[in-house]
Structure 1
Amino acid sequence: MNEVSKAVTASNEQTNASNELAVEVAGKMGQLDAKADDAIARAEADYNTKVGELTTHAIEGHKKAIEDASGGRNTILIDAQGNSNIMVRVPRFNYEDLNAKILELTGADLQLGSGIPTMFQTNGVPRGEVYIAKYLASAGANGGCSVVGGAQPRTLVNYDVAKDLCSSKGDGWHMMSIHEWAAIALWSLANGTVPRGNTNYGRSHENKLETARRHDNGMPGDTAGTGRTDTGKGPKTWAHDHGAWGVQDLVGNVWEWLDQMKLDDGQIITTLDNDPSIAEVNWHRHGAYFDSPSDSQTGNGNVGAPILNNAVTKRNGPVDDDSHDYPYMHGSNFAGITKGVSYTPSEILRRLLIESASATNVPGAIYARNYGDRLPRRGGNWHEGSTAGLGALNLYNARSLASSHVGFRPAFFV
C-alpha cells in the first residue's frame, strides 16, 4: 500500500472514530438533557403541589376563621373555576311566623299563609338552608365571577350572561331567584331589619351619614360621576339582618337580575318553587297580568301605575314587541297598586312580593311594560332614592339589557 492510500485509510478511520465519539457524546448529552428536564419537571410539579397545598391550606384557614367569627352564618365556597365566594347560610323558617311578626310590628296582615317558604323547596322537596352570596358578584378568574367584599360589582351583563355565570360555577350554583329574594325580604320585614343602601350617589337617601367609597372616589351625594360603591363597604344597616354577617347591598347600588320570573306581554310567569332546573318555557303562567290604566301607545313615557288584573285590557305596545319604543307603567309603591274588580288574589304572588294584601310592606317602586318579554330586576340602584327598596320590582327591560346599573348575585344549594 502506497503512502497516499495509507493516509486516506488513516483519515477515514479517524473520521469514523470522531463520528462514533460524537454519537456517544450526543447520546450522553441527550441523557443528561432528559435527566435535567425530568428533574425540572419534578421540581415544578413539586412546587405546584406545594403551592396548591399552601393555597388550599390558606383557603381552609380563611374559611375556618370566617365560620368561627360568624358562628357558622358565613362560609367560603370555591367554585369549579377556582373563584372564592363568601356565602351567607340562610336557615329555613315558615310563613305563619313571618306573617304573625309582620302583623305585630306593622299592623299589616300580608296573608302569606303557612308552611315552608318557596325559597326552601325544590320541586316540592324541602331544604334546611340555602346559601346566598353575601355580596354582589364581582370579576373572577377563568371567565367566571367571585363573591368578595371590597370589589366593584360585575355589571354590563345581560340576563342570560348573568345566569350562565352563576350556573357555570358548578353543581348547585344558580342565579338568585325571585323566591330567595322575596323570602329574605319578608324575613327582614318581620325582624325589623329592612336594610337601607346606596340609594343617593354613595350614601343612603334615608340616612345621609351612611356612606361607602364610590367607584369614582367622588363625594357622597354628588350627582356627577359614577356613584356605584364597592361591595360590602357600607354600614351594618345595609345588610338584611343589620349585622356584620348578613346579605349585603340588596337595596340600591345596582339593580339585580333575578331568575325564575318574567312578564310575557303583561302575563306574570314564575316557577312554583325554587327550582332553577326548570326550563323557562315550562314556567307556570299565572292568571294574573299587569294591566295598564291607559291604552296609549304614543311616545315612551310613564302612563301611571300598573293594575293587577285577570287579563290585559289596555296594552301600551304591540304584542311580542321587546322594544322600549312605547309607554311604560310606574308606581311609587309596588304594594299599593290597584287590583281590578275581577282579579283573583294569589297567595304565591303575595309570597313573591309581586302582589300585596296591604299597602304596608317592604318599600320599593314598580316599573313594567305589558308588551314583549320582560325579565325582573329588584332592589334599585345608586340614584333611585325612595323608589329603591326590597320591594322595588323592575319589569321595564328585555333580557338583552346590559347596563352599568345592573348586576347579579349567585346562590347555592347544599
Structure 2
Amino acid sequence: MSLDVQISDLIAATTDLTEAVNVKKQVLDDRADTATGAADEAATSASEAQASASAAAGSAGTATLKANAAAASADTAASIVTGGTATLEPAAGKIPLANSKGHISPDWFIVDQLRASVEAASGGRMTVLYTANGAPCHMHVFPAFNLEDVAPGGELGSGLHPAFIFNGQPASEIFVGAYLSSMMGSEAVSLPMADPRTSINFDSARGLCKANGSGWDMMSNLDWAAIALWCMANGYQPNGNTDYGRHHTNKWEAARRQDGFAPGGSGTARTLTGSGPAAWSHDGTPAGIHDLVGNVWEWITGMTLQDGRVWLAPDNGLTDEPSLIDTGFDLSNATQWATHSSEGASMLVKQSLIAPATPALSPEGRLYVTAEGERMPYRGGDWYNAGIAGLAALSLNRDRANSTSTRGFRLRFRAQ
C-alpha cells in the first residue's frame, strides 16, 4: 500500500474519532445541563420549602403568642373579677375555662361541695361558713322571730327579739355554731365529731372567735336566750351529756366520750361534738344546735355581773363590756333560776333569760351567783351536772381569767 493511501486512511480514521468524541461530548454536555437544571430546580424547591417552613414556624409562633395572650387576658380578667386565674378545674378564686370541646365542667356550678351537701342534707337549716383562712364551720341558720310569737300574752313585750337587732338594725337570721367550738390548727371551728376546746378563759375564747374574721364572734347571751325561748315556745327542752357521756335519766341516750371510756362512771367525760342522739339538739333533729345542755359549760358575751347587779347588752351588736347597760336587777340573793323573784326585772332582763317571764317560759337549770366583783357568765351545764344542767343553767361565780376542763365556747356569725 502506498504512502498516500495510508495517510488518507489515517486522516479518515482521525475524522471519525473526532466526530465520535464530539458526539460523546455533546451527550455529556446535555447530561450536565440536565443535571444542572435539576440541581437548580432542587435548590429552588429547597428554598421554597425553607420559606414555607419559616412561614409555618412564623404562623405557629403567632398562634402561640395569640394563645398566650388569650390565656393572659383570661387570667387578667379572672384576677380582676375574683383575684385568681382561669382554670379547667373548679377551685376557689377561679373562673371557668372551657375545654377543647368548648365545654365547661358541671362541677363549676357547685364549687363548694361541702356546703352544698350540708345544706341539702339539712334542708337549708344548716350551712357551712368559712374562717378568714378557709377553715369550714357548720352553722345552724336561726331565723328571726318576734317576741309575741313566743309569748303571745305580751310577757316579753313585742317586736323583734333583741338577738336579731345589731346596732339598732334588724337582721333576718343569725348563724349559730351547730357544735361546740373545737380547734383546726390555730382556728376555732364548729365541726362534728370533735373534742370541744376547753381550759380557756373568757378573753382568750372570744379572741379566737373574732380572729376568724369579720362577722365572727362568740355566742352571746341574747343568742342563748332566743334559742331557749324558742324551745320553750315549741314545748321542747333538749337533753344532753349530763352523766359522764349519757343523759342522767334517759341513760340509753349516749354519745362518744373523748377519753374513750364507756358512758357512765368517771373520768373527763366530754363527748365528741354532735355524737349524741337528735334529742340533744335544740329542735330534736340532726340539723339543730347540739350540746347546749350538759357536756361543757359555754362562755357567753353580752353580760356581766358587777357586785351582784346585772349588766346586759341592749342588742346583739352591743355585746362588748363598755356597751353594756346597768339593768338595776340584783341577783345577790338568787339561788334557783325558776324560783328567784322577777320583781323589778325589766323586759330586757326577761328577754335575756336572766329572770323568768312566766312558768311556761322557764326552762330547767341551776343559777349560781357570787355577788362580789366582776363575774362573767357561762351557761348550759357540764357532763356531771345531772339536773343542774339545762337551758336556764347560768353560772355567775367566776371571773374572766378562770378556766377549767368543763368549760368551752361556741361560735356565732352575723353577715355584715
Aligned pair partner of 2:197 in 135, 149, 154: 154
Contact 1:336-1:358 at 8 Å conserved across structures: no
Q: What pairs with 1:394-405 in structure 2 (closer than 5 Å)?
A: 394-405=395-406
Match of 2:60 in 1: none
Counterparts of 2:271 and 2:93, CA distance in 1: 29
Match of 1:184 in 2: 227
Counterparts in 2 of 1:287 and 1:412: CA distance versus 1, 3 Å: same
How far off is 1:51 after superposition?
Answer: 10
Q: Per the alignment, in what secondary structure is the counterpart of residue 262 of structure 1?
A: strand
Match of 2:323 in 1: 282
Aligned pair partner of 1:207 in 250, 254, 260: 250
CA deviation vs aligned residue, 1:336-392 (integer Å, no higher than 9, x gap): 1135xxx52311111111011335511100001110110000000000000100000
Counterparts of 1:260 and 1:63, CA distance in 2: 30
Counterparts of 1:221 and 1:274, CA distance in 2: 38
Match of 1:353 in 2: 353
Match of 1:83 in 2: 135
Q: Per the alignment, in what secondary structure is the counterpart of residue 331 of structure 2?
A: strand
Do residues 245 (structure 1) and 307 (structure 2) align?
A: no
Aligned pair partner of 2:159 in 109, 115, 124: 115
Contact 2:157-2:347 at 8 Å conserved across structures: yes
Q: What pairs with 1:296-335 in structure 2 (closer than 5 Å)?
A: 306=334, 331=335, 333-335=336-338
Q: Per the alignment, in what secondary structure is the counterpart of residue 269 of structure 1?
A: strand
Match of 2:177 in 1: 133
How far off is 1:98 after superposition?
Answer: 0.6
Do residues 53 (structure 1) and 91 (structure 2) align?
A: yes
Counterparts of 1:158 and 1:244, CA distance in 2: 30
Counterparts of 1:158 and 1:243, CA distance in 2: 31
- Would you tell me which structure has more helix in proportion to its own residues? 2
Q: Per the alignment, in what secondary structure is the counterpart of residue 199 of structure 2?
A: coil
How far off is 1:275 after superposition?
Answer: 1.1
Match of 1:235 in 2: 277
Amino acid at match of 1:250: L
Q: Per the alignment, in what secondary structure is the counterpart of residue 291 of structure 1?
A: coil
Q: What pairs with 1:329-344 in structure 2 (closer than 5 Å)?
A: 331=335, 333-338=336-341, 343-344=343-344
Match of 1:378 in 2: 379
Counterparts of 2:413 and 2:162, CA distance in 1: 15
Identity of aligned residues (%): 40
Counterparts in 2 of 1:55 and 1:284: CA distance versus 1, 3 Å: same
Do residues 264 (structure 1) and 265 (structure 2) align?
A: no
Match of 2:218 in 1: 175
Of structures 1 and 2, the one with the larger relative CO (CA 8 A, separation 6+) is 1
Amino acid at match of 1:369: T
Contact 2:189-2:411 at 8 Å conserved across structures: no
Counterparts of 2:189 and 2:381, CA distance in 1: 22
Contact 2:332-2:369 at 8 Å conserved across structures: no
Contact 2:305-2:376 at 8 Å conserved across structures: yes
Amino acid at match of 1:175: M
Give the 4+ runs in structure 1 shifted more than 4 A: 49-52, 54-59
Do residues 63 (structure 1) and 101 (structure 2) align?
A: no
Counterparts of 1:187 and 1:282, CA distance in 2: 26
Counterparts of 1:55 and 1:67, CA distance in 2: 22
Amino acid at match of 2:236: T
Contact 1:110-1:356 at 8 Å conserved across structures: no
Instruction: Return the index of the structure with the highest Cα Rg.
Output: 2
Counterparts in 2 of 1:110 and 1:395: CA distance versus 1, 3 Å: farther
Contact 2:353-2:392 at 8 Å conserved across structures: yes
Q: What pairs with 1:8-23 in structure 2 (closer than 5 Å)?
A: none
Q: Per the alignment, in what secondary structure is the counterpart of residue 204 of structure 2?
A: helix
Counterparts of 2:320 and 2:283, CA distance in 1: 33
CA RMSD of aligned residues (A): 2.2
**TM, length-normalised to structure 1:** 0.72
Counterparts of 2:338 and 2:385, CA distance in 1: 17
Contact 2:303-2:377 at 8 Å conserved across structures: yes
Counterparts of 1:348 and 1:54, CA distance in 2: 43
Counterparts of 1:167 and 1:282, CA distance in 2: 17
Do residues 197 (structure 1) and 198 (structure 2) align?
A: no
Contact 1:110-1:357 at 8 Å conserved across structures: no
Do residues 73 (structure 1) and 117 (structure 2) align?
A: no
Counterparts of 1:160 and 1:52, CA distance in 2: 39
